[in-house]
Amino acid sequence: MAIKQSEPTRQQATAKTHYGAEAKSVDYARKMDAQDPLKHLREQFIIPSVTDISRGELSTNDDNAEKSIYFCGNSLGLQPKAVREYVNGQLSTWSTIAVKGHFQTLESSPIKPWQHMAQSCAEASAPIVGALPSEVAIMNSLTVNLHFLLASFYRPTAKRNKIIMDWKAFPSDHYAIETQIQWHGYDPKEAMVLVAPDDDFTISTQKILDTIDEHAADAALFLLPGIQYYSGQYFDIKTITAHARSKGMMVGWDLAHAAGNVPVKLHDWDVDFACWCTYKYMNGGPGSIAGIFVHERHSKIRVTEDAETGTSLSFPLRLAGWYGHELKTRFNMDNQFVPIDGAGGWQVSNPSAIDLASLAGALSVFNFTSIEALREKSLNLTSYAEFLFDDILATLSASDERQDKNPVFRIITPLDPEARGAQLCVLLLRPGLLDVVMKGLGDAGMIVDKRQPDVVRIAPVPLYNTFEEVYRFARKFEEALVGFLS
């Protein structure tokens, strides 16, 4: 579907933060950093140096080396220093007590016994996604978890078999939904309802609600990303969930770009299920073990007593595996599946202890802050970045009157701070400009993500990025644009 390239009609913007002329200086950015109550968190991370990135060799970890500007936490978060300690603790347990590590740990080790590590990580993740500890499980990887959850919550009928989804879903989500529909014998062309923007790249909440109304009689499930990866739009999860559930739909959210980024309240907002990866804003490492949420109303085990057949259990259908079995009888090996009462009952296989140790180390950083405090800083970082980008456009316009009618770039992420996370997506409006910009930034030791053919995704992460980095990035971005236009 072609999206109109007109002036964007986004979510209604709240009042912008007003910056004076002094905000255009590096001294202002440094003052903001000096006043930042979360500045100590940066010390918890290993920031790659410009030299190490350019050489592509084993890090020297030279504290005195110039640090790169890393605005790519929306693809892969930086390594917390605690991860090495936790992974080494796991390796030491394995080498010292071997199989006994399943149920005991070394006195000096930061990790839990292996059989308890997944639950420990789930408990640490729960406040980040606004869930009860029992509603979270740490298992598998994102798309695998999406398949497992759809197996339970997508139960189509001849009358209701459609899935309402994002017009530009991340390909892996698209494939999962498409094949689940086919698995049940339905045609994706008929059963996939794609909600698309009317104009530009933002989908209004009202359009989503109208689409839900339109398919109230034939949609079985609603599934959207919490934050859209391409545009950076943060959807109104609370309002949308309530409306979809009122129409009898199951409601799920892919929080790959939302978990650890923005405050969500999955339990209070009555979401049926959700899934997320942990290698972006939760910094668990590349391909790290993922998380799921299942609302407590879906995981209750019912016990029935019958004089003839004895005690029987009933529970929501899922693709079961032995690791979802309650811990106290997991090793009975009697083939009588008794699931954990909660999201843990959706676990299937014995998870990698190394993966869990890495995630546990990453989650330990969140003990030093809260998702609400991170959100406040994130709003300030993106607001400052937006101000600087607007100033670049004004500067270019003053030097070239053609820029007024045909600007060289624009931000396609919603102007409303409440409708975006720690990411601004910049659409470049000149053919060939993306490669020039990416080369200029890369040569300066600045790492950002691109999406072909012409979008740069800039993610200043509040855990480890600074206002001075935002300032320096904007100046280098402007330099690349001027060089291209001259």
pLDDT, tens digit, 9 for 90 and up, residues 354-375: 999 999 999 999 999 999 999 9
pLDDT for 250: 98
pLDDT for 12: 38
pLDDT for 3: 34
Is 409 in a helix, a strand, or coil?
strand
pLDDT for 474: 98
Per-residue model confidence as pLDDT tens digits over 218-260: 999 999 999 999 999 999 999 999 999 999 999 999 999 999 9
CA distance 406 to 433: 14
Residue 257 annotated as binding site = yes
CA distance 51 to 445: 8
pLDDT for 207: 96
Centroid of chain to Cα 480: 29
Per-residue model confidence as pLDDT tens digits over 109-141: 999 999 999 999 999 999 999 999 999 999 999
Dihedral through CA 378, CA 382, CA 383, CA 388, nearest 10? 150
Helices 81-97 and 353-363 meet at what angle, rounded to 10? Answer: 140
Residue 211 annotated as binding site = no
Q: Work out the mean pLDDT of the chain and round it to a whole number.
A: 91
> Does residue 283 register a pLDDT over 90?
yes
> The tokens of 293 are what?
């949420």
pLDDT for 8: 35
Strand ranges in 244-385 using DSSP code E only, listed in sequence order: 250-254, 273-276, 290-294, 302-306, 310-314
> Does residue 300 register a pLDDT over 90?
no
pLDDT for 265: 98
Q: Which residues 6+ apart lie within 8 Å of 445 measured at CB?
A: 49, 50, 53, 54, 66, 68, 69
DSSP string, 29-85: HHHHHHH-TTGGGGGGB-PPBHHHHHHTSS----TTSPBPEE-BTTT-PPPBHHHHH
For residue 453, whether the previous peptide bond is cis, meaning omega lies within 30 degrees of 0, is yes
> Does residue 178 register a pLDDT over 90?
yes
pLDDT for 199: 74
> What's the mean pLDDT in 288-303?
91
CA distance 70 to 48: 8
Per-residue model confidence as pLDDT tens digits over 1-47: 333 333 333 333 444 567 899 999 999 999 999 999 999 999 999 99
Task: Provide the pLDDT confidence category of residue 99 given band limits of 50, 70 and 90.
Answer: very high
pLDDT for 317: 87
Per-residue model confidence as pLDDT tens digits over 385-440: 999 999 999 999 877 666 566 899 999 999 999 999 999 999 999 999 999 999 99
> Does residue 486 register a pLDDT over 90?
no
Residue 172 annotated as binding site = yes
pLDDT for 9: 35
Give the closest residue to 466 by CA, choosing from 101, 11, 71, 144.
71
> What's the mean pLDDT in 451-471?
96
CA distance 129 to 131: 6
Task: Provide the pLDDT confidence category of residue 198 given band limits of 50, 70 and 90.
Answer: confident
Contact 11, 202 (CB under 8 A): yes
DSSP 351: -
Q: Which residues 6+ apart lie within 8 Å of 359 measured at CB?
A: 121, 138, 278, 282, 284, 285, 288, 289
Residue 384 annotated as binding site = no
Task: Provide the pLDDT confidence category of residue 307 given band limits of 50, 70 and 90.
Answer: low
> Does residue 89 register a pLDDT over 80?
yes
> Does residue 281 register a pLDDT over 70?
yes
Residue 143 annotated as binding site = yes
Residue 435 annotated as binding site = no
pLDDT for 4: 35
pLDDT for 310: 61
pLDDT for 311: 65
> What's the mean pLDDT in 338-348?
94
CA distance 193 to 178: 11
Strand ranges in 71-170 using DSSP code E only, listed in sequence order: 136-139, 162-166
> What's the mean pLDDT in 320-327?
91
Task: Provide the pLDDT confidence category of residue 309 given band limits of 50, 70 and 90.
Answer: low
Residue 200 annotated as binding site = no
Per-residue model confidence as pLDDT tens digits over 464-473: 999 999 999 9
